[in-house]
């Protein structure tokens, strides 16, 4: 289907292993939303964490999407080939960014001193400079003071959201101590560079959205529209992931329509009647998605 609107969406998997049912649900939601809008659906491989990348997983992901009948538009983009863009964005952020010398242990220790064991918030140790004798490890972004730190957005499915970056997040890392670019920076740079104006992804990332909107503002980039779908969990209530032992939904010769696509569509709340082939499945699913989301 060729694009007839200015809708540009994307699926942005990390190649840490083959796609499982959880990633299929996220892929399907973004694909259906693009199709329901007669929009463009791009594919970006988020392979910046070289320690977590699995060799060949990117090609496996591409093949599984194709076996499901999910054809992306344009060229696939690999984040590992775009590091100059992230470097340029970091430079553009100027004094909003500062070097941080803290190790994980030091951050944990200072949290204990603050009497706050549960919080993940960086205590701001290096905000005003690195202590003598210490060396920069990571680069952090200054978030606004609490009175100015609230970021609000309207999620197309989950409704009004707000997060105070100062009290709920703290100064966050843009370039990690291991030298890798952080997801938050790369995703903002690439979504804008690729002209993405509609983001549909799993609700595990809803908590990252305020950080991304803040970064978009600082970099003078437009804020896309957001829709987060529920994540698939296993019997223990854990999000499906490689760490929790999620299996590939595509085993090369299995019936993807009945074993993967129909269950994923049901998870998204789409009540499909039996479909005999992929074409029929996608037509029906896009229609039901459009109805569910009130897309004219
Ligand atoms: N690469 C991220 C993941 O696989 C998704 C990023 C996004 O959709 O913003 O969880």
Atom of ligand 1 nearest to the CA of 11: 8
Q: Could you give the maximum distance between any two Cα atoms of the chain, in Å? A: 69
CA angle 272–277–281, rounded 5-degree value: 30
pLDDT tens across 174-193, in order? 999 999 999 999 999 999 99
How far, in Å, CA of 280 to CA of 276, rounded?
7
At residue 24, the pLDDT reads 97
CA of 14 to the centre of ligand 1 (A): 6
How far apart are alpha carbons 241 and 230 in whole angstroms?
14
Residue 111 pLDDT class (50, 70, 90 cuts): low
Indicate whether residue 203 lines ligand 1 (CB < 6 A).
Answer: no
Q: What is the pLDDT of residues 241-284, one digit of tens each?
A: 888 878 999 999 999 999 999 999 999 999 999 888 999 999 99
Q: Are 101 and 205 in contact (CB under 8 A)?
A: no
Token code pair at residue 37: 């809008």
Do the Cβ atoms of 232 and 239 come closer than 8 Å? yes
Whether 12 lines ligand 1, by a CB cut-off of 6 Å, is yes
User: Is residue 205 lining ligand 1, measured as CB closer than 6 Å?
Assistant: yes
Average pLDDT value for residue range 88-116: 82
Render pLDDT for 119-177 as a digit per residue (tens, 0 to 9).
Answer: 678 989 999 999 898 888 899 999 999 999 899 999 999 999 999 999 999 999 999 99
DSSP letters spanning 7-72: -EEEE----SSS-BHHHHHHHHHHHHHHHHTT-EEEEEE----TTT--TTHHHHHHHHHHHTT-PP
- The finding on whether 46 has its CB within 6 A of some atom of ligand 1 is yes
């Amino acid at each position: 289907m060729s694009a007839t609107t200015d809708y540009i969406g994307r699926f942005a998997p990390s190649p840490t292993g083959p796609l499982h049912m959880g990633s299929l649900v996220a892929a399907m939601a973004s694909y259906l939303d693009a199709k329901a809008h007669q929009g463009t659906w791009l594919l970006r491989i988020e392979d910046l964490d070289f320690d977590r990348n699995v060799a060949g997983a990117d090609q496996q992901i591409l093949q599984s999407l194709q076996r499901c009948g999910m054809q992306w538009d344009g060229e696939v983009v690999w984040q590992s080939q775009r590091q100059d863009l992230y470097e340029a964005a970091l430079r553009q952020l100027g004094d909003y960014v500062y070097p941080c010398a803290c190790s994980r242990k030091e951050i944990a220790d200072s949290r204990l001193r603050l009497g706050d064991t549960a919080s993940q918030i960086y205590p701001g140790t290096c905000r005003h400079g690195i202590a003598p004798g210490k060396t920069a490890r990571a680069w952090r972004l200054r978030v606004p003071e609490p009175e100015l730190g609230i970021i609000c957005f309207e999620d197309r499915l989950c409704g009004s959201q707000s997060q105070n970056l100062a009290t709920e997040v703290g100064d966050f890392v843009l370039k990690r101590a291991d030298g890798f670019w952080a997801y938050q920076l790369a995703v903002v740079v690439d979504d804008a560079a690729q002209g993405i104006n509609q983001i549909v992804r799993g609700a595990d990332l809803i908590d990252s959205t305020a950080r991304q909107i803040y970064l978009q503002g600082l970099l003078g980039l437009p804020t896309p529209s957001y829709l987060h779908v529920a994540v698939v969990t296993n019997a223990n209530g854990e999000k499906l992931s490689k760490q929790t032992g999620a299996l590939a939904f595509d085993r090369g010769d299995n019936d993807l329509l009945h074993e993967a696509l129909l269950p994923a569509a049901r998870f998204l709340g789409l009540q499909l009647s039996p479909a005999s082939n992929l074409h029929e499945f996608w037509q029906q699913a896009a229609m039901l998605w459009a109805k569910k989301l009130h897309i004219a």
